[in-house]
Amino acid sequence: MLLRDPLESQGYEVAEAEDGQGTLQQVAKCPPDVVLLDVMMPRMDGFEVCRRLKSDARTAAIPILMVTALCERKERMVGIAAGANDFLNKPVDLLDLRLRVRNAVYTRQLFERLRKEQENAEGLLLNLLPEAIAKRMKQGEVNIAEHHADVTVLQADLVGFTALCSHVGPEQIVDLLNEIFSAFDETVERRGLEKIKTIGDAYMVAGGLSVPRADHAEAMAGLALELRGEVERFNREYRTSLSIRIGMSTGPVVAGVIGRKRFSYDLWGDTVNLACRLESLGEPGSITASNSTQERLKDKFRFHRTRTVDIRGQGAVTVHELGQRI
């Protein structure tokens, strides 16, 4: 096709192929913004090349303009069925060429912009919700509420952060909290657990929830020790004196998505309430586990300072402080 010169004069970069197979190889090597296909090509005609490009997810969005001397409706229907986006008739009118290529490029740019916006939206959804829940919402589920019979919940709170807020500016406060929680997020993801939410300087995680796993209590205990280590690292680096209190409980929970415009994935039930209560009852630097959690871990971790505490709505509860792995 003698189309290179008029297209390059408009600022387009043009790559050419001699036949259908060469076209497929060229597109695979360097995907273009637009493909102009001559219907009559050796060994593989333009219709077949078009079908193959449109059947490949990597190239399906590239606009294809069929260049043909065939004027009958039947041939155009074959091209449309193959996935062609537009047609150019031979002999090619140069103004027609420029306008159709310009429109095709614009269509491609719009598609890429929309694709990037979709990726950003999906990334935001994954920041708000566990991956498995986000996938279900993308598939159209709206009212997501489930009962999980066996989950370990961890509630952590930064001790001393509120006092720190009165001595430093708001931007520094946000930066410091973001650094701590970003480190927490990386640790949670690496251990295959699920961050549920942050409220102020409190941080909640669950294990065995949307992705069931038999070792969720053990994984959570390892996480608790690592979170405490992250706070100690932070104190050394920034010369602060923060500490962390952690409560853990194992048992049934109800989990679900609430909200229509601002989604929130949350947990409810006695297991959650107990984890939160144990956190608040602990001393700075302590990791307090419920009896149900300790029963899962007693052969793998050391425990000390076993005691009975009164929990509103649950009565007397036996709790234990988590030590190091055996």
DSSP per residue, 149-189: EEEEEEEEEEETHHHHHTTS-HHHHHHHHHHHHHHHHHHHH
Place of tokens 């060469």: 22
φ and ψ of 146, to 5 deg: -140, 150
Asked if 16 and 4 count as a contact pair (C-beta separation under 8 A), the reply is: yes
Domain stop point among 103, 127, 151: 127
Asked if 250 and 154 count as a contact pair (C-beta separation under 8 A), the reply is: no
Residue 285 vs residues 54, 60, 230, 279, 293: alpha-carbon distances, Å: 59, 56, 12, 10, 19
Domain stop point among 127, 154, 174: 127
Total domains in the chain come to 2
Are 85 and 226 in the same domain? no
DSSP 283: P
Domain stop point among 127, 160, 192: 127
Does some domain include residue 226? yes
Burial bucket for residue 116 (CB in 10 Å: 0-12, 13-18, 19+): exposed
Does some domain include residue 183? yes
CATH number assigned to the domain comprising residue 61: 3.40.50.2300
Label residue 186 by pLDDT band (50, 70, 90): very high
Q: How far is CA 17 from the centre of its chain?
A: 39
Are 282 and 199 in the same domain? yes
Are 316 and 184 in the same domain? yes
A 10 A CB-CB count for 48 gives 15
Q: Can you give the pTM of this predicted structure? A: 0.69
How far apart, in whole angstroms, are the C-alpha atoms of residue 46 and residue 63? 14
Are 305 and 226 in the same domain? yes
Sign of CA dihedral 258, 259, 260, 265: negative
Let me know how many helices (H) and strands (E) the chain has, helices first.
11, 11
Quote the pLDDT of residue 182: 94
Does some domain include residue 69? yes
Note down the domain range covering 153: 143-325
CATH number assigned to the domain comprising residue 179: 3.30.70.1230
Label residue 71 by pLDDT band (50, 70, 90): low
Are 93 and 155 in the same domain? no
Asked if 279 and 157 count as a contact pair (C-beta separation under 8 A), the reply is: yes
pLDDT tens profile 229-255: 999 999 999 888 899 999 999 999 999
Quote the pLDDT of residue 324: 94
Angle at alpha carbon of residue 127, lines to 213 and 229, rounded to 5°: 65
Quote the pLDDT of residue 132: 78
**The pairing of beta strand 64-68 with beta strand 35-38:** parallel
pLDDT tens profile 36-52: 998 888 888 889 999 99
Are 154 and 110 in the same domain? no
Among 94-108, 144-158, 250-264, the least confident range: 250-264
Are 118 and 176 in the same domain? no
Burial bucket for residue 60 (CB in 10 Å: 0-12, 13-18, 19+): exposed
Label residue 163 by pLDDT band (50, 70, 90): confident
Residue 26's SS3 state is helix
Asked if 227 and 244 count as a contact pair (C-beta separation under 8 A), the reply is: yes
